[in-house]
């Protein structure tokens, strides 16, 4: 009997059957072991009471977070909030007289009774209808914020979109926190808001909010906003006007009645409808108000109490860098800042800079020649006046007196050449070589200004005529290291690459600022002691508590008092018969130094890049710089000009010095001393004493030169190993 062959199942069907059997077996296996795992987990969970531990951990985290946030709220200085918002930060001069104030997120503060009732009605209808029935935060708002937080985390967004902030929370955010939208900021906001509610009444909070709200165009507070947009006082605002301002709070840039009148009017009408819903006005009244045209009239006059801009900028910078108080806090917390400012000196310096006739004419393309000056009390380092540039001032912008770095030219000679020379055996009238010669393997060849040389010259004359050849010769004699070390002691920012003979003429990698030069020359005016420059003497918070104080850093001994007097004697000659003669104000004796740097422009050796004058009396040091911000072929300083830096400095000092004590130097001009000595020692014992003095002078120089050569020889020997 023949049997028909059975057909084999299709391969695909066989695979499916196998997968079903495998899945069924896996389910049985997984179920068995899953049940075992659950049983073991229940046993483990029950044995170690994990539910309780999870609850304890959760409550512990919540408790720690609550304690931390409560501490943040309690230390946020909420008690001073009203004082901070009511008054601006005041600046006082060195006589404790008011010198101006700082404004930022602050306008004219008015009490609630002087604000039209239409304003709170519109604001509360828009921003927080339950304001009078909640304690700083809204549970419903927090629920919405929590939902958005979870949503954004799932979408990998590290911020909160919105958050149902109450009016109190908005006040806290503006007054204490940043605008960054994070969960931690929101948590701090809530706890501080509760503390604000504990400290102030609802009406006080509403008043602070309305005076601290931003309304665009640099205007803060409802009073200034009323003036800016309607030329009305806050007490006279109508319902449509109040609705306009309330509508701006959400986004002053979008709902700007000046730039976007159509959008602003739509927003105003929306606020009017919200006022209807909040039972503040009737529907018929709202419909009538919606037809009112949006008329803008500007009657706002900005506050001009930032009277001394560069000085105030420096105060803010010092508060940040030295006392770690942020710019926002300085501008908004109603501090009293006591400073070293002399208003008479500052005012006269600003007037000098406001007069364009004191400066060279602008370049052909209209670029202005820049300049900067600073006045300092040499006894304590207190800055009494400062101007950081010409032209329009930019708030906390670039201050050339403190932030600029330019090569100092010959103003560095007294510091790195003549002072160390006096400290190591030379005398004010020591004979220096005045010849054109080359030094080192690179044949460095300094030249005098007019390329003429006298062979020899006394030190005081080499200084007041600002001769380059004798200065480099002398630095080579005493050793570059001594000049470099002296620059460091005087606080000048030299670098290792500056250890060469060019340092004698101001060759530096980075350069110096006028403030650094004023501090350095204060050493000569203060009998060898260097003070620490500062602007702030004391800062008080809004309640009068001292939060920062400059106790007066002790002056640091840099050179001997004798050396300082000798340097002053020589530096007087700069203004009496030297390079600064035309910069000397009539009726006053000044000591100091001039300086210039070559333009550095290829093919232009006759013009300059920088011009400096640093001068002082026992009462004040004034350092002044002049030049272009960017030196190039079209922007260099002419070597000879009717309105040179000497002209500027003379006018500047003629106005500043009458506002000082007028203390006289206790030393004479070095050239006068030298002439008197020559006359008195021409015969007899005088001649012998003169010869003896020259003998001691030459002996000291010989010993000094021998020491330098021995040091150089030893350095060469060490280099071999």
Which residues are annotated as catalytic?
A: 127, 410
Nearest one of 248, 242, 220, 232 to 299, comparing CA atoms: 232
Q: Distance between CA 406 and CA 508 in Å, rounded?
A: 9
Sign, Cα dihedral of 151, 157, 158, 159: negative
**CA distance linking residue 216 with residue 256, whole number of Å:** 7
What whole-number distance in Å separates Cα of residue 170 and Cα of residue 180?
A: 13
Q: 3-class SS at 279?
A: coil
**375 three-state secondary structure:** strand
Nearest-Å Rg of the Cα atoms of the chain is 38
Q: Which of 497, 494, 490 is nearest to 511 (CA)?
A: 494
Alpha helices in 155-182 (DSSP H): 167-176
**386 forms bridges with which residues in the sheet?**
374
273: nearest Cα among 297, 251, 289, 261: 289
Q: Which of 106, 112, 108, 109 is nearest to 203 (CA)?
A: 112
- Assign 141 to helix, strand or coil: helix
Question: Can you say whether the dihedral through the CA atoms of 391, 396, 398, 401 is positive or negative?
Answer: positive
Among 433, 310, 389, 416, CA closest to 626: 389
Pairing of strands 455-458, 621-627: unpaired
- Beta bridge partners, 89, equal 102
Q: Report d(CA 192, CA 63) in Å as an integer.
A: 17
- DSSP alpha helices (H): ranges in 438-594? 459-464, 468-478, 480-489, 514-525, 561-577
Q: If you count DSSP H runs as helices and E runs as strands, how many of each does the chain have, helices first?
A: 25, 14
- Distance from CA of residue 147 to its chain's centroid? 42
Contact of 336 with 90, CB cutoff 8 Å = yes
Interatomic CA distance for residues 157 and 153, integer angstroms: 5
CA distance 227 to 104: 18
Look up residue 146 and give its DSSP letter. H
Beta strands 89-92 and 336-339 are: parallel
Place of tokens 């499916």: 16
Q: Tell me which residue of 623, 463, 489, 493 sits closest to 559, measured CA to CA.
A: 489
How far is the C-alpha of 311 from the C-alpha of 534, rounded, in Å?
Answer: 11
Alpha-carbon span 375 to 361, nearest angstrom:
25
Residue entry with tokens 């069907």: 13
CA dihedral 666, 670, 675, 678 (to 10 degrees): 100
Q: Are 306 and 102 in contact (CB under 8 A)?
A: yes
CA distances to 383, 408, 414, 491, 656 from 532, in Å: 10, 20, 20, 10, 22
Q: CA-to-CA distance for 340 and 311, rounded, in angstroms?
A: 10
């Amino acid at each position: 009997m023949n049997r028909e062959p059975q057909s084999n199942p299709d391969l695909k069907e066989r695979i499916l059957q196998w997968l079903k059997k495998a899945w069924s077996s896996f389910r049985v296996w997984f179920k068995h072991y899953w049940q075992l795992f659950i049983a073991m987990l229940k046993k483990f969970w029950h044995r170690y009471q994990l539910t309780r531990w999870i609850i304890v951990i959760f409550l512990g985290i919540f408790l720690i977070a609550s304690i931390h946030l409560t501490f943040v709220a309690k230390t946020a200085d909420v008690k001073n909030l009203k004082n901070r918002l009511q008054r601006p930060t005041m600046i006082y001069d060195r006589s404790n007289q008011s010198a101006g104030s700082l404004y930022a997120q602050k306008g004219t503060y008015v009490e609630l009774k002087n604000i039209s009732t239409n304003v709170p009605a519109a604001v509360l209808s828009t921003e927080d209808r339950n304001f009078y029935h909640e304690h700083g935060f809204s549970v419903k708002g927090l629920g919405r914020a929590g939902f958005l937080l979870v949503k954004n985390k799932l979408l990998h967004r590290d911020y909160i979109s919105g958050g149902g902030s109450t009016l109190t929370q908005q006040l806290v955010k503006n007054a204490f926190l940043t605008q960054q939208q994070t969960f931690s900021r929101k948590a701090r906001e809530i706890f501080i808001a509760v503390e604000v509610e504990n400290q102030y009444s609802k009406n006080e909070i509403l008043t602070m909010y309305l005076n601290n709200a931003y309304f665009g165009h640099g205007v803060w507070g409802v009073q200034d906003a009323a003036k800016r947009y309607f030329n009305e006082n806050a007490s006279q605002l109508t319902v449509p006007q109040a609705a306009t301002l309330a509508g701006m709070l959400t986004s002053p840039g979008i709902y700007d009645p000046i730039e976007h009148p159509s959008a602003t009017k739509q927003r105003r009408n929306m606020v009017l409808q919200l006022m209807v819903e909040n039972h503040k006005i009737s529907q018929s009244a709202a419909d009538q108000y919606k037809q009112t045209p949006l008329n803008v009239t500007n009657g706002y006059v900005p506050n001009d109490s930032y009277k001394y801009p560069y000085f105030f900028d420096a105060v803010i910078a010092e508060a940040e860098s030295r006392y770690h108080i942020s710019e926002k806090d300085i501008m908004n917390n109603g501090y009293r800042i006591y400073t070293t400012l002399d208003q008479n000196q500052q005012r006269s310096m600003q007037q000098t800079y406001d007069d364009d006739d004191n400066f060279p004419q602008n370049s052909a393309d209209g670029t202005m020649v820049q300049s900067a000056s600073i006045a300092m009390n040499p006894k304590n380092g207190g800055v009494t006046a400062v101007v950081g540039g010409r032209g329009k001032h930019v708030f906390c912008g670039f201050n050339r007196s403190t932030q600029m770095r330019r090569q100092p030219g010959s103003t560095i000679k007294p510091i790195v050449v003549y002072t160390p020379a006096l400290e190591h055996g030379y005398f004010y009238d020591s004979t220096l070589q005045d010849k054109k010669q080359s030094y080192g393997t690179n044949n460095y060849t300094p030249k005098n200004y007019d390329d003429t040389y006298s062979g020899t010259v006394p030190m005081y004359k080499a200084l007041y005529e600002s001769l380059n050849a004798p200065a480099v010769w002398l630095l080579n004699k005493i050793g570059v290291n001594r000049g470099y070390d002296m620059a460091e002691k005087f606080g000048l920012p030299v670098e290792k690459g500056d250890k060469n003979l060019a340092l004698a003429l101001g060759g530096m990698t980075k350069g110096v600022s006028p403030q650094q030069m004023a501090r350095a020359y204060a050493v000569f005016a203060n009998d060898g002691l260097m003070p620490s420059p500062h602007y702030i003497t004391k800062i008080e918070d809004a309640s009068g508590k001292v939060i920062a104080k400059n106790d007066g850093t002790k002056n640091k001994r840099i050179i001997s008092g004798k050396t300082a007097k000798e340097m002053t004697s020589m530096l007087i000659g700069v203004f009496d018969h030297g390079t600064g003669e035309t910069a000397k104000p009539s009726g006053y004796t000044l000591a100091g130094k001039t300086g210039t740097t070559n333009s550095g422009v290829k093919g232009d050796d006759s013009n300059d890049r920088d011009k400096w004058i640093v001068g002082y009396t026992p009462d004040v040091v004034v350092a002044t710089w002049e030049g272009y911000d960017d030196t190039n072929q079209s922007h260099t300083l002419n070597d000879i000009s009717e309105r040179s830096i000497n002209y500027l400095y003379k006018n500047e000092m003629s106005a500043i010095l009458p506002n000082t004590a007028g203390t006289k130097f206790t030393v004479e001009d070095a050239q006068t001393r030298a002439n008197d000595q020559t006359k008195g020692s021409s015969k007899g014992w005088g001649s012998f004493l003169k010869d003896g003095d020259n003998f001691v002078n030459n002996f000291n120089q010989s010993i000094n030169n021998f020491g330098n050569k021995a040091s150089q020889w030893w350095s060469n020997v060490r280099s071999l190993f």
